[in-house]
Structure 1
Amino acid sequence: MENWSEYVGYLASAFVVASFLLKDIKTIRTVNLLGCICFVIYGVYSGMLWPIIIPNGILALIQVYNIFKKD
């Protein structure tokens, strides 16, 4: 696997797209969180791409907060 980080980027995109196909909000947030984490990994291993790392890191924190907050 020559450029594995590129595959992580594609996986991240697939998670984000899949999150728009779901109906249950907790599942949406969880799938989107996986996409955000993959995008952060992709950004780090593709040369510290800060425009990808920063917003996806923030979105990941927001998703974690909303997944675990008490209603």
Structure 2
Amino acid sequence: MEFLGVSWVEWVGYAAMATVLISFLTKSVNKLRIVNSFGCLLFVFYGVLLEPISKPIIITNLAILCINIYYLIKNKS
């Protein structure tokens, strides 16, 4: 299935890219980590959807997601 000549898998990748870029426009570090984490989740989903799956995309974004979660929890206490 395509929209504007782009596959839906590519749209997931574009959404992930846009979310990560938008995260860097936030003023608060905690907001940056939250929005960036959502972008990382989208990138993990994108990496799984690719044929064949992209382990580098999945591993990198899972690692960044874990780092974001660690600092969000650390800053809460």
**Superposition TM-score, scaled by structure 2 size:** 0.83
2-structure distance, mates of 1:54, 1:21: 25
The answer for the alignment partner of 2:56 in structure 1 is 51
The answer for the alignment partner of 1:9 in structure 2 is 13
> Larger strand proportion, structure 1 or 2?
2
Give the paired residue count. 71
Unaligned 5+ segments in structure 1 are none
Identity %: 46
Task: Give the Å deviation of 1:68.
Answer: 1.5
* Displaced runs of 4 or more, over 3 A: none
Which letter maps to 2:59? I
Greater Rg over alpha carbons, structure? 2
2-structure distance, mates of 1:4, 1:65: 32
Q: Which structure has the higher relative contact order (CA within 8 Å, separation 6+)?
A: 1
1-structure distance, mates of 2:29, 2:8: 30
2-structure distance, mates of 1:6, 1:67: 30
Unaligned 5+ segments in structure 2 are none
* Superposed counterparts of 1:1-71, under 5 Å: 1-2=1-2, 3-47=7-51, 48-69=53-74, 70-71=76-77
RMSD across aligned positions (CA): 1.3
1:36-65 Cα distance to aligned partner (Å, 9 max, x none):
100000000113101111110100111111
Which letter maps to 1:57? L
